[in-house]
Amino acid sequence: MTQVDTAKLKASNRRVGRRLGGTAAIFIVLSVLGAFMVLPIYLTVIMSVKPVEELFVFPPKMYVIRPTLDNFREMFESVRQNRVPFSRYVFNSIAVTVSVTVLQCVFSSMAAFVLAKCRFPGSRFINHVIVIALLYQSNVIYIMQYMVMSRLHLIDNPLALILPSVASPMGLFLMRQSISQMPDSMIEAAKVDGAGLFRICWQIVIPNQKPALMTLIIFAFQAAWNIQAGSLVFQEQYKTLPTVVAQAASSGMARAGVAMAAAVFMLIPPMIVFILAQRYVIETMAHSGIKE
């Protein structure tokens, strides 16, 4: 099996009309552009490990002479001054992130499947409403959302951080666009075999939509990981990591080092999820020649 896979992978790179020179040129272009893209992130990482005396020297240096974890330590110290232990925030963040990501993926996958592949009264209308909802960006909505949530007694309830994010029009739109590319014949064949919609969705459609699903996981995780308590939750024991980390970092330029440490710390989990999901996306590509 693995041998076949590597053969497939190799074949995928020797497609028609690929000259080595062209591929090398692409690599160079991407590397130059990529260097510009990572520069600010590189600086963030460097500054997060710079000791105070190196942070404000002139001229500013692109490297660090004596790396230190003081900025991270200071960030944790200032969070620890709250009455709630740090692990509590970690737990809250994980609970919010996992439930939002899982529910969003499940709900959007099912809804996207029927909206892409079934015609029923109202389906065109709902498809249209989804796009309108995507375009209707407004900060007035947040106020209205707040009013709805207070009517539902959700304010200062930990569910307030989860429920508003589980139905994302963007996630649905992404999945719908991708599922619409699937050949109808696969679904019709399953229907003939007597499978219900639920089974068709989870056993045939979604397993064939891994690139889109993995992309949705990346978006959902990233958005959920950054959900802040804001004005929805006041009790310290329900707050999430981004809320307290932002508090620790928000004391002006003098604490630039701590702000950088906070940015690096918050970037790590989404980055890990991104790498795992992307690798999976690319592997499915390598296999897709075998399917059918």
Partner 1 sequence: MAGKKASRAGKLWADIKRNKGCYLMLAPFMIFFTVFTIVPVVMSLPIGFTDFDMAKPPKYVGLSNYTTLFLSDRVFIRSIRVTIVFAFLTGPVSYFLCFMLAWLINELHPKLKTFFTLIFYAPSMANVYTVWQLIFSGDINGYLNSFLLDLGLINAPVQWLTDGRYILGVTIVVQLWISLGAGFLALRAGFQNIDRTLYEAGAVEGIRTRWQELIYIVIPSMGPQLMFAAVMQIVSSFTAGTVAQNLVGFPSTDYKAHTVMTHAYDYGWVRFEMGYAAAICTILFAAMYLCNRLIGRVMKKYMD
Give the footprint of partner 1 on residues 61-100 (CB under 8 A). Answer: none
* Closest separation in Å from C-beta 30 to partner 1: 5
Closest to partner 1 by CB, 85 vs 106, is: 106
Tell me, what DSSP letter sits at residue 235? -
**Window 142-181: contact mask with partner 1 (x via CB under 8 A):** xxxx-xxx--x----------xx-xx-xx-xxx--xx-xx
Q: Segment near partner 1 (CB under 8 A), from 23-31, 71-79, 83-91, 92-100?
A: 23-31
Q: Check residue 260 for interaction with partner 1 (CB under 8 A).
A: yes
- Max CA pair span of the chain: 74
DSSP letters for 27-64: HHHHHHHHHHHHHHHHHHHHHHT--HHHHT-SSPPSS-
Closest to partner 1 by CB, 79 vs 201, is: 201
Q: Check residue 254 for interaction with partner 1 (CB under 8 A).
A: no
* Closest separation in Å from C-beta 210 to partner 1: 8
Q: Check residue 102 for interaction with partner 1 (CB under 8 A).
A: no
Q: Check residue 16 for interaction with partner 1 (CB under 8 A).
A: yes
Closest to partner 1 by CB, 180 vs 235, is: 180
Task: Please count the other Cβ atoms lying within 10 Å of the Cβ belonging to residue 19.
Answer: 8
Distance CA 162, CA 51 (A): 38
Q: Check residue 266 for interaction with partner 1 (CB under 8 A).
A: yes
Note whether 44 and 263 are within 8 A (CB). Answer: yes
* 169-172 CB contacts, 8 Å cutoff, 24+ apart: 169/130, 169/131, 169/133, 169/134, 170/134, 170/219, 171/104, 171/105, 171/108, 171/216, 171/219, 171/220, 172/108, 172/111, 172/112, 172/115, 172/130
Q: Check residue 263 for interaction with partner 1 (CB under 8 A).
A: yes
Q: Segment near partner 1 (CB under 8 A), from 71-79, 81-89, 132-140, 232-240?
A: 132-140
Distance CA 210, CA 171 (A): 14
* Closest separation in Å from C-beta 19 to partner 1: 9
Q: Check residue 274 for interaction with partner 1 (CB under 8 A).
A: yes
* Closest separation in Å from C-beta 83 to partner 1: 26
Q: Check residue 4 for interaction with partner 1 (CB under 8 A).
A: no
